């Protein structure tokens, strides 16, 4: 199919992009990489009256350290983040990016575009929620910041208003006693996940766990994060013990019905195994004091 007719605008300033969305009166849609949006347009699942291309907007292509955070601008491609030296400061982001689609898609797709699209089985929203990233939004009333865990309201539904532009996302830089894990199961590499998990564990100088979180995706209408600090402490981060200890958490997190690809029960089994493995891996990295992804 072909997309339904729409007007096209390519502003050079952020204020002009917002103005275009305001003038569209709810019918505007922002495009940067287009790897999620264009197929939706082609299938006519979305019919915006105006497509606002933000690739010429000044200042949205920055990838930089800002204090103890890494800021990724709205037009920064996923492939650039995957290989940039700066992104090594956010190991979970580096762990997750190779799972996002295929290399060719990541060469065009943007980090912020994936966050704004809000597919519940996508990898980057889970990373943002696990790390409690901050999203900077610009609208007719100025800019505001929204935490990732408050950004997602459901499948393809976020805190973005029709006249808002997601300007950038910032991730906290990892400390020396933080460990991470990330994995998913999909029918084929590059497909959306049947079930996936992102894990983060922080330890103190003595090697004791001070915080542990896991974010599940592909098993609900949005990425869901849970504090599992007590479970990691109780099991000492042992993978075999975590399988049983995480059972109640997994049962709560998987609230999607079965579909043609996987039943509810199968997704629970996948998530239980993935969560135990990746939380244990994150614990091991945190206790050893090495955040590198290969440890």
Considering the entire predicted model, what is its pTM? Answer: 0.94
CA-CA distance, 250 to 180, in Å (whole number)?
19
CA-CA distance, 272 to 55, in Å (whole number)?
41
- Tens of pLDDT, residue by residue over 260-287, are 788 999 999 999 999 999 999 999 999 9
**Domain end: 145, 172, 199, which one?**
172
Positions of the chain with pLDDT lower than 70, given as ranges: 290-295
CATH at residue 28: 3.30.43.10
- Looking at residue 294, its pLDDT comes to 47
H helix count then E strand count, the chain: 12, 14
Structural domain boundaries, residue 128: 63-172
**Domain end: 135, 150, 172, which one?**
172
- Tens of pLDDT, residue by residue over 95-151, are 999 999 999 999 999 999 999 999 999 999 999 999 999 999 999 999 999 999 999
Structural domain contains residue 58: no
Q: Comparing C-alpha atoms, which of 62, 80, 82, 57 is closest to residue 72?
A: 62
Helix (H) or strand (E) holding 137, with range, is strand 134-139
Are residue 153 and residue 202 in the same domain, yes or no? no
Are residue 71 and residue 158 in the same domain, yes or no? yes
């Amino acid at each position: 199919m072909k997309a339904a007719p729409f007007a096209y605008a390519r502003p050079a300033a952020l204020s002009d992009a917002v103005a275009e969305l305001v003038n569209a009166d709810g019918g505007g849609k922002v495009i940067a990489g287009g790897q999620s949006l264009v197929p939706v347009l082609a299938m006519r699942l979305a019919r915006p009256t105006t497509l606002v291309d933000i690739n010429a907007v000044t200042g949205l292509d920055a990838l930089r350290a800002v204090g103890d955070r890494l800021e990724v601008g709205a037009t920064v491609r996923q492939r650039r983040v995957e290989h940039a030296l700066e992104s090594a400061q956010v190991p979970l982001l580096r762990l997750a990016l190779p799972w996002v689609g295929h290399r060719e898609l990541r060469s065009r797709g943007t980090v912020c575009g994936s966050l704004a699209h809000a597919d519940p089985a996508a990898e980057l929203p889970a990373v943002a929620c696990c790390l409690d990233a901050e999203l900077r939004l610009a609208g007719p009333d100025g800019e505001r910041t929204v935490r990732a865990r408050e950004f997602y309201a459901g499948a393809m539904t976020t805190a973005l208003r029709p006249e808002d532009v997601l300007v950038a996302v910032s991730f906290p830089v990892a400390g020396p006693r933080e460990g991470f894990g990330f994995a998913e199961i999909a029918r084929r590499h590059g497909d959306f996940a049947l079930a996936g998990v992102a894990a983060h564990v922080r330890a103190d100088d003595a090697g004791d766990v001070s915080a542990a979180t896991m974010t599940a995706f592909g098993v609900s209408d949005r990425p869901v994060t849970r504090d599992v600090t007590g479970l990691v402490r109780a099991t000492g981060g042992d993978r075999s013990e975590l399988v049983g200890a995480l059972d109640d958490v997994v049962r709560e997190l998987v609230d999607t019905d079965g579909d043609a690809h996987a039943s509810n029960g199968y997704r629970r089994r996948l998530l239980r195994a993935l969560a135990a493995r990746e939380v244990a891996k994150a614990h091991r990295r945190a206790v050893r004091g090495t955040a590198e992804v290969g440890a």
